[in-house]
Chains A and B, each alone.
Chain A
Amino acid sequence: MALFSALMVITSKNPVYSVLWLIVTFFAISGHYILLNAQFLAVVNIIVYAGAIMVLFLFVIMLMNARQEGASGSKRWITLAGTVSGGIFLLVLVAALKDSELKSRTAMVMDGQVGLIKVLGNELFTRYVIPFEISSILFLSAMVGAVVIGKKD
């Protein structure tokens, strides 16, 4: 389901449909997080990506009223070349990793304490408190930068 909706993201002509398919992709990925019992990340993924970022994308697309991209003449071979190179990339990595030693490893599903918010929060505010504060400063500077760039001058 994640793969299908991700394919629809890049094949939709209308950018609004593309955004909606991307939201479906993010929900599928959040479902994978829940299956891996990473509950905190699943909730954060839904709130941040499917909520905030996608609303921002939709807002910008509606604001621009850019319905569809104009079909240019030399677009066909660019599409072909991009698809072929992406497929070759996938093929090479799959072939390289198919017989690696990871083959016998398994990921713990539906169990384990590591993804719970208690464990993550405890770690985040003790050992990782400096990166946390730095990321908050990054957010502040990104907000100021967005306002400065988007300002009418």
Chain B
Amino acid sequence: MPINYYLFLSLALFSIGMVGVLTRRNAIIIFMCIELMLNAVNLLLVAFSKMHYQVALEAGQLATQAGVEGQLFVFFIMVVAAAEVSVGLAIIVMMYRNVHSVDINFLNRLKH
């Protein structure tokens, strides 16, 4: 399958996530859109990993390790995303306890 398809699918997913971050005012939904962008990047990394693997196979290396790094990188991105979500949701719960809302418009207190 051409790599272009995966490239454009990932770009569209990333743009949807970006639009969500820019337009929604709910902090939880903004977090979910960040997860969406991370997953778009992951999908593109896996597609490129398979592309390098195929290039290495066509170059004649049978038991090649090409492309393993990409998939391990995706694994580490998932680990970091899980840690980030746990801390971020704790922060959101804390904020809800203080201002009784998850609207990020209440967060402009830093201005004053």
Q: A residues bordering B, Cβ < 8 Å?
A: 2-3, 6-7, 9-10, 15, 18-19, 22, 25-26, 29, 32-33, 36-38, 40-41, 44-45, 48-49, 52-53, 56-57, 60-61, 63-64, 66, 69-70, 72, 75, 78-79, 81-83, 85-87, 89-90, 93-94, 97, 102-103, 105-109, 112, 114-115, 119-120, 123-124, 128, 131, 135, 138-139, 142-143, 145-147, 149-150
Contact = CB atoms under 8 A, between A and B. Distances in A.
Closest 8 CB pairs of A and B: A82-B22, A86-B19, A142-B83, A10-B20, A82-B23, A90-B15, A108-B54, A149-B90
A114 B66 contact: yes
A49 B79 CA distance: 10
Contacts of A36: 46-47, 50
26 contacts: A9-B32, A10-B24, A29-B42, A33-B46, A38-B50, A41-B74, A44-B78, A52-B82, A56-B86, A66-B102, A69-B24, A72-B105, A78-B23, A86-B15, A93-B15, A106-B51, A107-B6, A107-B48, A107-B54, A112-B54, A114-B66, A135-B76, A135-B79, A139-B83, A143-B86, A149-B87
